[in-house]
């Protein structure tokens, strides 16, 4: 049965939402379609539509829903409706809700980093000596290191509303000061997990041509073409795993399985079996597993990091984890040179991925599976 909502209250709420949205947009507090506004009207709610820009709202297109969240009038309600309804249920005195996303993160952090990243990259054309190269490479790494966690944080702000209907685990969320992120054991557990996964990623990036050549392939062109095959396999596998993790709200095993796939694929018995076809299949399994871990991993720390601590926590995880970018290629080369065996480094990589999978299973499933 449809709830009857008072027309006068709805009209006033429409005008107020449009007025406030325009004001926020004009003052630079919101950008693009980020953020939503809602109002309690009778037993129902009025909320901005999906993907609506707050600065250009049409009062007649605002979504009017009843007490059960069913649409009565207007466009399709924003997916943040669930979040807003939970707030109204928790606080009967709440009449309006405004939620926005960080404009400073984009305008004052991500955009300048991207610009500086491009300028530093272009400056490499002027390199004439070793010292200049190292300075520019350091600056390039600094820009990249700041960009990646910033984007993850921004995506987290956008995606958190997807978990609004999950159980309340606010008491388990690190939200306050930057230094709290350094004191949080789960942040360092995430560093360990990410380090293990990045070990496999950089092994593929730097050593894939050598792996392919070791299967018996000759000629730079053939090696280059076949080196792309495992990465194409990863492209096929990534999306189904990600969609399944979101749909089933099961993130741990959706991360453990590809990690173990990578370990199996890196097995010397699989890669160095005398058959080029089987070896490429094994490398494809390894690439599909290892590269699928990267996007799925970031769904773990973002479930317990929030507020100011989120920026610091994500930066710590990214920085520590990417130390594997140095360790992995160097370790493989050093072990290979010291032992004369290409199998031992692959055993080490397989063990590292298994260790990462085991560490994932130590996380609290009630927190990360949201």
pLDDT at 192 over 90: yes
Q: In the predicted model, is pLDDT for residue 167 greater than 50?
A: no
pLDDT at 157: 56
Q: Which of 260, 246, 251 is nearest to 358 (CA)?
A: 260
Neighbouring residues of 179: CB distance < 8 A, sequence distance ≥ 6: 312
Give the burial string for 67-78 (b: 16+ CB within 10 Å, else e). Answer: eeeeeeebbebb
Task: Provide the 3-class DSSP secondary structure of residue 49.
Answer: strand
Contact 13, 46 (CB under 8 A): yes
Which residue in 71, 47, 67, 70 sits closest to 59, CA to CA? 47
| The predicted structure's pLDDT at residue 307 | 61
Closest CA to 134 of 144, 148, 145, 123: 123
> What pLDDT does residue 171 have?
40
What is the per-residue pLDDT for 165?
Answer: 41
What would the pLDDT profile of 56-77 be if each residue is shown by its tens digit?
899 889 999 988 888 898 898 8
User: Which residues touch 260 (CB under 8 Å, ≥6 apart)?
Assistant: 289, 353, 354, 357
**Angle, helix 324-339 to helix 185-214, in steps of 10 degrees:** 40
13-45: per-residue pLDDT in tens?
999 999 998 888 887 777 767 788 999 998 889
Helix axis angle for 111-123 and 130-159, nearest 10°, is 160
Q: What pLDDT does residue 274 have?
A: 62
Average per-residue pLDDT in the chain?
81
| Alpha carbon distances (Å) from 357 to 259, 299, 313, 328, 360 | 6, 15, 21, 18, 5
Q: What is the pLDDT of residues 202-222, one digit of tens each?
A: 888 887 887 787 777 788 888
Q: What is the pLDDT of residues 69-108, one digit of tens each?
A: 888 988 988 888 888 888 888 888 889 998 887 666 655 6
The separation between CA 196 and the C-alpha centre of its own chain, rounded to angstroms, equals 17
DSSP reduced 3-state for 242: helix
What burial letters (b/e) apply to 338-349, b meaning 16+ CB within 10 Å? eeeebbebbbbb
The pLDDT of residue 213: 79
Cα gap 204→217, rounded to integer Å: 17
Give the pLDDT of residue 147.
Answer: 76
Residues in the chain: 370
pTM of the complete model: 0.66
Lowest mean pLDDT among 115-124, 203-212, 278-287: 203-212
Which pLDDT score is estimated for 83?
Answer: 84
pLDDT category, 288, cuts 50, 70, 90? very high
Confidence of residue 248 (pLDDT cuts 50, 70, 90): confident
């Amino acid at each position: 049965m449809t709830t009857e909502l008072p027309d006068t209250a709805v009209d006033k709420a429409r005008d107020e939402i449009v007025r406030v949205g325009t004001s926020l947009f004009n003052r630079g507090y919101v950008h693009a379609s980020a953020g939503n506004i809602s109002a309690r009207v009778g037993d129902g709610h009025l909320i901005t539509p999906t993907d609506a820009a707050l600065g250009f709202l049409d009062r007649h297109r605002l979504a009017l829903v009843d007490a059960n969240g069913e649409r009565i009038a207007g466009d399709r309600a924003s997916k943040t409706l669930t979040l807003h309804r939970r707030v109204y249920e928790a606080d009967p005195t709440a009449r309006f809700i405004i939620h926005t996303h960080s404009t400073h993160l984009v305008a004052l952090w991500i955009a300048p980093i991207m610009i500086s990243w491009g300028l530093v990259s272009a400056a490499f054309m002027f390199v004439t000596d070793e010292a200049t190269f190292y300075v520019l490479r350091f600056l390039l790494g600094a820009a990249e290191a700041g960009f990646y966690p910033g984007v993850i944080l921004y995506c987290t702000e956008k995606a958190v509303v997807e978990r609004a209907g999950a159980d309340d685990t606010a008491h388990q969320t690190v939200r306050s000061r930057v230094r709290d992120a350094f004191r949080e054991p789960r942040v360092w557990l995430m560093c360990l997990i990410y380090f293990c996964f990045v070990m496999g990623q950089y092994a593929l990036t730097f050593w894939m041509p050598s792996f392919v050549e070791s299967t018996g392939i000759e000629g730079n062109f053939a090696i280059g073409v076949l080196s792309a095959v495992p990465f194409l396999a990863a492209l096929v596998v990534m999306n189904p795993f990600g969609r399944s993790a979101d749909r089933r709200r099961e993130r741990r095993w959706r991360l453990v399985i590809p990690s173990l796939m990578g370990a199996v694929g890196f097995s010397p018995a699989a890669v160095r079996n005398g058959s080029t076809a089987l070896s490429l299949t094994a490398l494809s399994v390894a690439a599909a597993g290892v590269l699928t871990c990267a996007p799925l991993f970031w769904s773990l720390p973002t479930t317990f990091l929030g507020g100011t601590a989120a920026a610091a926590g994500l930066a710590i995880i990214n920085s520590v984890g990417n130390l594997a970018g140095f360790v992995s290629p160097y370790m493989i080369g050093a072990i290979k040179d010291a032992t004369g065996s290409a199998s031992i480094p692959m055993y080490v990589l397989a063990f590292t991925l298994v260790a990462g999978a085991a560490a994932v299973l130590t996380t609290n499933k009630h927190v990360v599976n949201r």
